[in-house]
Amino acid sequence: MKVVDNLLGKVRPAFEKGGKLEKFYPVYDALETFAFVPDHTTKRGAHIRDSIDMKRTMFLVIVALIPALLFGIYNTGYQHYLALQEEGTFLDMILFGLWKTLPLVIVSYGVGLGVEFIFCIIKGHSINEGFLVSGMLIPLIMPMDVPLWMVAVATAFAVLIAKEVFGGTGMNILNVALTARAFLFFAYPTKMSGNKVWVSTDGGTAIDGFTGETLLSQAIENGATFYDTTGAYYASVSDSFMASFLGFIPGSIGETSTLAILIGAAILLWTGVASWRIMLSALIGGAVMGLIFNIIGPQISPDNLYLQVPWWHQLVMGGFMFGIVFMATDPVSAAQTFKGKVIYGFLIGILGILIRVVNPAYPEGIMLAILFMNVMAPTIDHYVVQGNINKRLKRLKTA
Amino acid sequence: MSKAIKIKKGADIKLIGEADKTISAANRSTVFALKPDDFFGSIPKLSVKEGAEVKAGSPLFFDKARPRVKFTSPVSGEVVEILRGAKRKILEVKVLADAETRYESFTPWTGGTDKEALINTMLDMGLWPFLKQRPYGVIANSEDTPRDIFISFYNSAPLAPEAAFVLKDEKENVQLALDALQLLTPGQVHIGVKKDDAFFDGFTGVQKHTIEGPHPAGNVGVLIHHVKPINKGEIVWTVNGMDLALIGKSLRAGQFKAERTVALVGSEVENPQFYTTMIGAKMDSICGGKLKGENNRIISGDALTGDAVSKDGHLGFYSSQITVLPEGDHKKFFLTEGWLAPGFSSFSLSKAYPSWLNPGKKYRLDTNLNGEERAFVVTGELEKVFPFDIYPMQLIKSIMVNDIDAMEKLGIYEVLPEDFALCEFACTSKVNIQHVVENGLADMRKEFES
C-alpha cells in the first residue's frame, strides 16, 4: 500500500493545476480515490461520519450480481452444448460461456467508463461510481450473441442520453442499463428478439428440433406447455417451473436463473442496499396480475393460452425477477418515498406481466414496465409528498 | 396533558469515552472569550474597546438588530483582545480574568408576577441569549409572546452528559428558572425527560412529557413536534435544560454566574469525567494534560453538532460537553481500512459494514469524511434516522434550489440543523446537510423577518 501511495504521489504533480496533464485530473482522482479513501476530514456539521460511501454501496450491488453472472456464464455454455448435442464437460461449458460473456463485459465497461471519463474531463467533475453497476448490468441483460459494436453503441447512447445530459449519476430519470437494452430492442430488433439469439450455436450445427425459443415466446403459442432448447417437452408444468427457477433455459445472460437472482436479492436486502418495499410490492404486483389472468382468461379468451400460464410460473419467466431485483430498485430512477416505493413497485409488477401477455410484440414487458414507471416515479412521489403537505396545512387551519 | 413519547427512528452512535460520574474543578482559565458565531442570526456590535475594564455581567457586545440583547462577560477583568477574521468579522472578544471575580449587580428576581422586571433583568444580565426561538433557531425576541416554551432534559447525543447528574444539586435553581419561564408565556412550559428519570418528578408548574428512544429523541425539536408542532406564524421558545441551573442561580443572586459543569468525553480523553468551569473558558484549562495523542479534534459540544475549536480556543456559550476525537486526516487504503475492507472497526448505520452484528460495541471514530461528496443517490437512509413527519430528502432538495414556498410547505419551521445531524452522519453522498438546513433557515428568515 505504501508502494501504491508513493506511485500516486510521484505522478500526482503532472495532474495538478499547472501540470502537463492538468485536464486529466478527474482520471487521476478516480484512481487515487479508488485505492485510498482520501484524507478529507469533516469541515462543518457532524464531525463523525458513517463509514458507508458510494463505492461500498456500488460494490455491494456488484457482489449481488455475481451469482447471476456466474450462472449466466455457465448457462451460455450449457445451452450451447445442449443445442449441438455435443459432449461438453463442466469446464468446457464455463470456457464457452466466458468466451461469449467476457467480451460483452469488457466492451460495456470500456465504452461506458470511457464516455463517463470524457464527460468528467470536459466538465471538470470527479468521476462517479454509478457506472460500475450499470456496466455490469448491461451485459447481463443482453443475448450472448449480440454483436459487440451494438453493445458499444447502446452503452454510449445510454450513458450519454440517459445519464450525462441530465447531469450525471444521481440525476438520471431512466435506469441507464435498461435504456441501453431498450435502445437495442427498438433499433436492432432482429438481434434482440425472436428465436435465434438466445442460444449460441457458434462453431457447430444445431440438432434437428432445436428451437432456441425463450419461454416467453413459447407461451404465446402454447401457453404453459413448455419445451427445452432441444425441442423436448417438459413432463409437467412443475418441471418447466423448476428448470426456469434454476435457470437452465434460454434467455439473456443474467436473467435465466431465478435462484441466482434470489441470492443476489438476499445480499441486497440483507445489506439494506436495495429497497425491500419495491421488490416485495413488485413481486406481489406480478403475482396479482398473473392471478387475474388465470381467473378471467378462460372466460374472456379461452384461445389465448398465455393467459392461462400459472401466475407462479409467470414470475420465473423472462427478465421479471432480474428486473424487479436489480433494475426497479435503482434508487435514482425509482420513487423515493416509502409509500411511493410501494406503489411504484406494485405497478411495475402489474405492468410487467400485463405488457408481456397482452402485447406479444413486446415479450419482455418488464423492461418497458420499469422504464415507464421510472418516468412516473416523480409523479408518484409528488402526490405522496403532497399528502404530507396537506396534513400540515390542515393542522394550521385547525390550530 | 402529559405525553409519553416513544421514538423508533434514530440511532445511538456508541463512542468510546463516556464520562465517569465524578466532578472536579477545572484549572482556572486566565483568559475567557465570547464568540459571536455561537449566536446564530445575531450581528454583533461591540460595547467595549480593547483595554476596557469589565465586571462579570458587563456587556461585551450586543445584537445590532435588537440592541437590548446583550452578550455579557462571564468574568471580571480587562478586555485584552478583539480577534477579527476576514472582512473584520468579530471572532472572539477576550477578557483577561481577575483573580477574584467582581460582579455587576442587577435586580434579583426570586418570584412574583412582574414580567417586565424579569425581562429587563434577563436582558441586562446577559441571560436572554439562553432563550432561543423557533422557527429559525435564533435568540428569542423579547417583544414576542411565545405560544409555549419547551425544554428537553434528555440529552441523547453521543456521549452527552445526563441532565439528572449535572443538575443534581441545582434543583432549586432549576425550579426558579422554570418559574421565570412560566411568566414569559401565556401557554405552557413543557419539559421532556427521559423515561423513568425520577429526578424531574418534583418540579411544579410545568407540563412533563416522557421520551424514550434513540437519538435524536432528546432534541427539543422532537419534543415540540410530538407534543404540539409549530405551524406557520407561530413562535415557541426553547431553552437548554442544562442552562437552567445557571439562569436560576443568576436570577436569584442578581449577578451573572457563568459557571457550568461540562463533561469532558471522547476516545482521546485520558480519564473522561465532569469538570466545573465557566462559559468561555480556554479549552486548555479543561483539557490540558488530559488528552492522549496530539492530533485531535476538540469539539465544544457533541460529536454531531458541536464546533471544532483549537486547544487555544474557548468553550462555547451553550456547550455543556467537550468531545475529543482523533483527527482522520490520513488516507485509508481501500483493502485494509477503506471501502473494500471487511471493516470490523468501522461503524455504519447501514448494514454494509458488519457493525450491526455487534450492537453493543463502542467505537473510536475519527473525523474522516469516509468518502467523497456526491449527488444524492441512495434513498430511504435519511428517513430512518429522522423522527419527524417531514420528508427530509425533499426538504433538503427544496433548500438546495432555494424554493422558499416548498421549504415552508415541507415543514422547515419545525426543524433546526441539529435535527438533521444524524441524517448528515448517515448520508452516503456525504452532503453537509446541517449546513444546507442552516442556509435554508437563514433564507427563510431574510424573506419574512426583514
CATH code for the domain in which residue B65 is found: 2.40.50.100
- Mean pLDDT within B49-53: 94
Which one of B37, B376, B379 would you mutate to disrupt binding with A, by most A Cβ within 10 Å of its Cβ?
Answer: B379
Does a structural domain hold residue B303?
Answer: no
Q: How confident is the model at residue B242 (pLDDT cuts 50, 70, 90)?
A: very high
Q: Does residue B229 sit at the A interface (CB-CB below 8 Å)? A: yes
Which one of B159, B374, B418, B441 would you mutate to disrupt binding with A, by most A Cβ within 10 Å of its Cβ?
Answer: B374
Residues 375-394 of A with CB under 8 A from B: 381, 385, 388-389, 391-393
Q: Do A4 and B333 touch (CB under 8 A)?
A: yes
Q: Which three cell numbers stand for residue B329?
A: 486526516
Distance from CA of B178 to the nearest CA of A (A): 26
Q: Do A40 and B389 touch (CB under 8 A)?
A: no
Does a structural domain hold residue B337?
Answer: no
Q: Are B117 and B247 found together in one domain?
A: yes
Predicted confidence (pLDDT) per residue in A244-261, tens digit: 999 999 999 999 999 999
The pLDDT value recorded for residue B438 is 95
Average pLDDT of chain A is 90
Q: Pick A53's closest partner by Cβ from B376, B421, B430.
A: B430
Q: Are B123 and B190 found together in one domain?
A: yes
Q: Does residue A169 sit at the B interface (CB-CB below 8 Å)? A: yes
Does a structural domain hold residue B215?
Answer: yes
The pLDDT value recorded for residue B180 is 96
Q: Are B126 and B159 found together in one domain?
A: yes
Q: How confident is the model at residue A399 (pLDDT cuts 50, 70, 90)?
A: low
Q: Are B75 and B114 found together in one domain?
A: no
The residue that leads in pLDDT, A218 or A110, is A110
Angle at B203 between CA B200 and CA B208, to 5 degrees: 65
Question: How many residues are present in chain B?
Answer: 450
DSSP assignment of B134-152: ETTTEEPPTTS--S-EEEE
Q: How confident is the model at residue A210 (pLDDT cuts 50, 70, 90)?
A: confident
Domain count, chain B: 3
Q: Do A49 and B425 touch (CB under 8 A)?
A: yes
Our measurement of the distance from residue A340's CA atom to the centroid of its chain's CA atoms, rounded to an integer in Å, reads 21
Question: How many Å apart are CA B142 and CA B131, to the nearest integer?
Answer: 9
| The domain boundary residue, chosen from B65, B97, B129 | B97
The pLDDT value recorded for residue B347 is 92
- Mean pLDDT within B100-125: 93
Q: Does residue B199 sit at the A interface (CB-CB below 8 Å)? A: no
- Mean pLDDT within B310-328: 94
Q: Does residue A49 sit at the B interface (CB-CB below 8 Å)? A: yes
Does a structural domain hold residue B220?
Answer: yes
Distance from CA of A48 to the nearest CA of B (A): 5
Per-residue pLDDT at B390 exceeds 70 = yes
Of A206-215, B94-103, B399-408, which gets the smallest average pLDDT? A206-215
Q: Are B386 and B440 found together in one domain?
A: yes
Q: How many percent of chain A have pLDDT more than 70?
A: 99
| The domain boundary residue, chosen from B51, B78, B97 | B97
Q: Are B138 and B190 found together in one domain?
A: yes
Predicted confidence (pLDDT) per residue in B11-38, tens digit: 999 999 999 999 999 999 999 999 999 9
Question: How many Å apart are CA A12 and CA A1, to the nearest integer?
Answer: 16
Does a structural domain hold residue B359?
Answer: no
- Mean pLDDT within A78-96: 91
Contact A117, A27 (CB under 8 A): yes
Burial of B283 per CB tally in 10 Å (0-12, 13-18, 19+): buried
Q: Which residue of A lies nearest to B297 if distances are taken between CA atoms? A: A47
Average pLDDT of chain B is 93
Contact B287, B264 (CB under 8 A): yes
Q: Do A337 and B375 touch (CB under 8 A)?
A: no
| The domain boundary residue, chosen from B97, B120, B150 | B97
Does a structural domain hold residue B129?
Answer: yes
The pLDDT value recorded for residue B283 is 95
Of B43-47, B374-378, B402-406, which gets the smallest average pLDDT? B374-378
Q: How confident is the model at residue B450 (pLDDT cuts 50, 70, 90)?
A: low
DSSP assignment of B385-423: G--SSS-HHHHHHHHHTT-HHHHHHHTGGG--GGGGHHH
Distance from CA of A46 to the nearest CA of B (A): 4
Per-residue pLDDT at B335 exceeds 80 = yes
Per-residue pLDDT at B342 exceeds 90 = no
Predicted confidence (pLDDT) per residue in B409-422, tens digit: 999 999 999 999 99
User: How many A-B residue pairs are in contact by the CB < 8 A criterion?
Assistant: 212
The pLDDT value recorded for residue B441 is 94
Question: How many Å apart are CA A387 and CA A182, to the nearest integer?
Answer: 34
- Mean pLDDT within A363-371: 92
Q: Are B64 and B170 found together in one domain?
A: no
Q: Which three cell numbers stand for residue B344?
A: 470490523
The pLDDT value recorded for residue A134 is 94
Does a structural domain hold residue B322?
Answer: no
Contact A331, B378 (CB under 8 A): yes
Query: Containing domain of residue B434, as a range?
Result: 369-449
Residues of A in contact with B333 (CB under 8 A): 1, 4-5, 35-36
The pLDDT value recorded for residue A130 is 84
The pLDDT value recorded for residue A245 is 95
Predicted confidence (pLDDT) per residue in B248-260, tens digit: 999 999 999 999 9
Q: How many percent of chain A have pLDDT more than 90?
A: 61
Q: Pick A388's closest partner by Cβ from B377, B379, B389.
A: B389
Q: Are B115 and B249 found together in one domain?
A: yes
